[in-house]
């Protein structure tokens, strides 16, 4: 059993587009026979909540200004950019890139602050402290690599000597058993 709640006419859509007002999504409501819960079917008319009559990607919606966009130039006269044009989208994308760069700078400052607290130093000296730590670690690794080669050589020589002493003792024991 299907019940029509309200229907949107073409006149309503035309008025909504010209006034740049979004209409609520209307749909036909039907009732499921299984559990008597009304089922909603999605509306096919697009809803534009940003006030323009063209589609804007979701990632750019937060960066659309309330007023018009102007071309930034060195002249005192600012030029209006037509909404929906390629230049308008390029400018909105530029605003997004600027915002993302500011957010990255803020995050880097937070990370440096946390690292300076961890290393118990100031923000001014954090780069110097990190570079010094890296240099000392690199030096320690090189030193360890060279010194272990000497100790391994010493260990090989020591093993050779122990082996020769052991062989000599075995020979002496064999010699003494004969007599």
Structure confidence by residue, pLDDT tens digits, 27-38: 455 555 555 555
CA distance 71 to 92: 11
Do residues 65 and 44 share a domain? no
CA distance 144 to 138: 10
Do residues 70 and 101 share a domain? yes
At residue 54 the predicted structure's pLDDT band, cuts being 50, 70 and 90, is confident
Asked if 88 and 81 count as a contact pair (C-beta separation under 8 A), the reply is yes
- Supply the pLDDT for residue 179: 63
Do residues 45 and 91 share a domain? no
Nearest to 40 by CA among 26, 52, 51: 26
Q: Is the pLDDT of residue 8 over 80?
A: no
83 versus 99: the higher-pLDDT residue is 99
Give a yes or no: residue 74 inside a domain. yes
Full residue range of the structural domain in which residue 22 is found:
1-53
Do residues 37 and 89 share a domain? no
CA distance 36 to 125: 69
- Other CB atoms within a 10 A radius of the CB of residue 18 amount to 9
Do residues 99 and 68 share a domain? yes
Do residues 4 and 24 share a domain? yes
Give a yes or no: residue 127 inside a domain. no
pTM of structure: 0.48
């Amino acid at each position: 059993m299907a019940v029509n709640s309200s229907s949107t006419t073409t006149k309503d859509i035309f008025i909504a587009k010209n006034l740049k007002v979004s209409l609520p999504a209307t749909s036909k409501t039907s009732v499921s026979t299984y559990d008597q819960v009304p089922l909603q079917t999605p509306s096919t008319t697009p809803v534009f909540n940003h006030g323009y009559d063209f589609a804007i990607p979701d990632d750019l919606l937060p960066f659309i200004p309330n007023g018009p966009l102007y071309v930034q130039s060195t002249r005192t006269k600012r030029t209006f950019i037509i909404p929906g044009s390629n230049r308008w989208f390029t400018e909105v994308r530029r605003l997004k890139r600027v915002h993302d760069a500011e957010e990255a700078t803020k995050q880097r400052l937070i990370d440096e602050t946390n690292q300076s607290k961890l290393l118990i130093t100031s923000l001014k000296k954090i780069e110097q402290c990190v570079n010094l730590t890296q240099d000392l670690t690199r030096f320690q690794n090189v030193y360890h690599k060279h010194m272990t080669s000497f100790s391994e050589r010493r260990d090989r020589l020591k093993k050779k000597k122990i082996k020769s002493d052991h062989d000599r003792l075995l020979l002496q024991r064999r010699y003494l058993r004969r007599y």
